Amino acid sequence: MRRRQRKPTRGQPRGGGGGLPRLLPPGWGMPAVAGLLVIAVIAVIGFAVMQASGGGAPTGRGVEEEQDQSPNLPGTWIDPVAKYPDSAQHVSGEVPFCEGGKQEINSEGKATCYASNPPTSGPHSGTPARPGIYDDSNPVPKENFVHNLEHTGVVLLYNCTNCDETVQKLRDIFQGYLKDSRSQALVMTPYKEMEPETIALASWSRLDKFPVSEYSKERVDEFIDVFKCRFNPETMPGSGC
């Protein structure tokens, strides 16, 4: 009898990931395991506290890249107006788009809306999406994938019909990157909030949005290669960067 495959929950990509090792290294007893568990719990608590407060102090590299307007880089610079970490506060619920496409700053100097569609910075959920490839059954909300951008990520988004061939090509590209342990901060998702027949590549404060007819593998590769791991202000572990 064939088992029914579990349907992924919202915010999780289809397909399996690497499981935990079933065996301990030789010579590892319960005291060593207990010690590792204590260290892991402390690390998780510290990370949770930092994230709940809206992110830690910018200790890693990349803060200056947020303001890099160089025309030699792929895509277009999207002005966050507020500077990190004020451009990246954590909020609950849906974040609106800015009227007129201009970032609005509150009395505390923090960003309040999204200055581009798809967004490339701004307030967002405290929960990032798990890296991977998503489909129409479980697309990633913008409030979640913006958190991925804050921590080394590149997000590929598409909104098109009768474009299965192109979408498969994009999947193949992403699968290749996801197999590389240094490229684990990538997300590909459908995104119905932008114009029809459109593909977009987003990183923190950078956007390349174009018609499906202008797709090329070289264009996608260049954006990912330049921007993955480029913005990493909190030196986030586990991203492969």
pLDDT over threshold 80, residue 168: yes
HSE-up of residue 140 (Cα within 13 Å, Cβ side) = 32
Supply the pLDDT for residue 183: 66
Q: Which residues of 72-101 are buried (b: 16+ CB within 10 A; e: fewer)?
A: ebbbebbbbbbebbbbbbbbeeebebbeee
Supply the pLDDT for residue 142: 98
Output the pTM of the full model: 0.76
Per DSSP, helices labelled H in 81-215 are 142-150, 164-178
Supply the pLDDT for residue 241: 75
The rounded distance, in Å, linking the Cα atoms of 105 and 80 is 10
Supply the pLDDT for residue 235: 75
The rounded distance, in Å, linking the Cα atoms of 209 and 196 is 12
Q: What angle do CA 75, 76, 82 make, to 5 degrees?
A: 135
pLDDT in tens, 181-209: 666 689 999 999 999 999 999 999 999 99
Supply the pLDDT for residue 12: 63
What mean pLDDT is predicted for residues 78-95? 95
Q: What percent of the chain is modeled with pLDDT above 90?
A: 63
Here the tokens at position 122 are 């701004």
Supply the pLDDT for residue 121: 97
Task: Assign 239 a pLDDT band (cuts: 50, 70, 90).
Answer: low
Supply the pLDDT for residue 41: 42
Provide the mean pLDDT of the chain.
Answer: 81
Which run of H or of E encompasses 218?
A: helix 217-227
Supply the pLDDT for residue 91: 96
pLDDT over threshold 70, residue 63: yes
The rounded distance, in Å, linking the Cα atoms of 120 and 115 is 8
Q: Which residue has the tokens 């402390």?
A: 42
Which run of H or of E encompasses 190?
A: strand 186-190
Here the tokens at position 11 are 């915010």
pLDDT in tens, 33-47: 454 454 444 443 444
The full set of domain ranges for the chain reads 61-227
DSSP letter (8 states) at residue 232: B
| Phi, then psi, of 52 in degrees rounded to 5 | -65, -30
> Which residues are CB-neighbours of 88 under 8 A, at least 6 positions away?
54, 55, 111, 121, 122, 123, 124, 150
Q: Checking DSSP bridges between strand 132-133 and strand 186-190, what pairing results, if any?
A: parallel
Which run of H or of E encompasses 207?
A: strand 206-211
Does 118 sit behind a cis peptide bond, omega within 30 degrees of 0 on the bond before it?
yes
pLDDT over threshold 90, residue 30: no
Task: Output 238 or 3, whichever has higher pLDDT.
Answer: 238
pLDDT in tens, 145-164: 999 999 999 999 999 999 99
pLDDT over threshold 60, residue 18: no
Do residues 88 and 121 lie in contact, with contact meaning Cβ atoms separated by under 8 Å? yes
